[in-house]
Amino acid sequence: MELLVASAIGLLSAAGVYLLLRARTFPVVLGLALLSYAVNLFVFVSGGIRVGRPPIVGAAAGMTDPLPQALVLTAIVIGFATTAFLVVLALRLRRETGSDHVDAGGDAP
């Protein structure tokens, strides 16, 4: 199981980084989304991978580590905010320069 999780994280990050290196804004946004999946999963599984043990007090089987989950939960929401910010930035760039190339605004004053 560890192998599956680790390879999934690797795959998501590789895809994310590749898209992050593209020249247009839209793939960059997608790449960032994939990369944040990878990072969120990574942080999440740092608490160990356990099946059927949610971090609710009172469960008979014991519980998994709740702390990484709390960290990741806010990361997901913040990730949404930054994605939205990036998308709107891309729109604005396109509006100002007529292009969606990542360096389109580079020479603007």
Partner 1 sequence: MTDGRLLALLALLPFAGACLPALLHRRSRTTIAWASAAAPAAALAILVFLGRRVFAGEVVEASRPWIAALGLDVAFRLDGLSMLFAGLILVIGLLVILYARYYLAARDPFGRFHALLLVFMGAMTGVALSDNLLLTVVFWETTSLASCLLIGYWSDRADARAGARMALVVTGLGGLALLAGAILVAQIAGTFTISELNGMGDAIRAHPHYDIALVLILLGAFTKSAQWPFHFWLPNAMAAPTPVSAYLHSATMVKAGIFLLARLYPALAGSDTWFWIVGGTGLATFVFGAWAAVFRHDLKSLLAYSTISHLGLITLLLGLSSPLAAVAAVFHLINHATFKASLFMAAGIVDHETGTRDLRRLGGLWKQMPVTGLLALTAAAAMAGVPFLNGFLSKEMLFAETLALPDVGFARWIVPIVATAAGMFGVAYSTRFVHDVFFNGPPRTYDRTPHEPPRWMRIPVELLVLGCVAVGIAPALTIGPLLRVASGAVLGGPVPQFDLALWHGFNAPLAMSLVAFALGIALYFRMQRQGRLHAAQPGAISGHRVFDVIERSVVRFAGWSADRSTAAGFQRQVVILVLVALAAGVAPFAVGIPDRLVVAYAPMTPVAIAGWLVLAVATALVVATHRQRFTALILTGAAGLMVAATFAFFSAPDLALTQLVVEAATVLLMLLALPHLPASTPLESSSVRRLRDAAIAVGVGVAMAGAAWWMLTRGGASISAEQAALSVPAGGGANVVNVILVDFRGFDTYGEITVLVIAALGIVAMLGRTSAGRRVDRAGPAAASDPSAEPAGQGASTGTARSPQVSAHSPSSVPPDDDRDPEMLTLLIRGFAPVALLVAGWLFLRGHQLPGGGFVAGLVTAVVLSLLPLTSGRSAAGDNPRTDLHRTAAAGLAVAGATGLGAWAFGRPFMTSAHGHVDLPLVGDVEWASAALFDLGVFLVVVGTVMLMLDGLGRLRTERN
Nearer Cβ to partner 1 (18/60): 18
Shortest Cβ 62–partner 1 spacing (Å): 10
Distance CA(39)–CA(45), nearest Å, equals 10
Does the CA dihedral 61-5-34-78 come out positive or negative?
A: positive
Q: Which is nearer to partner 1, 60 or 95 (CB)?
A: 95
Query: Hey, how many other C-beta atoms are within 10 angstroms of the C-beta on 12?
Result: 20
Confirm if 41 and 69 have CB atoms less than 8 A apart.
no
In angstroms, what is the minimal distance from the CB of 60 to partner 1?
Answer: 13
CB of 30 to partner 1, least distance (A): 5
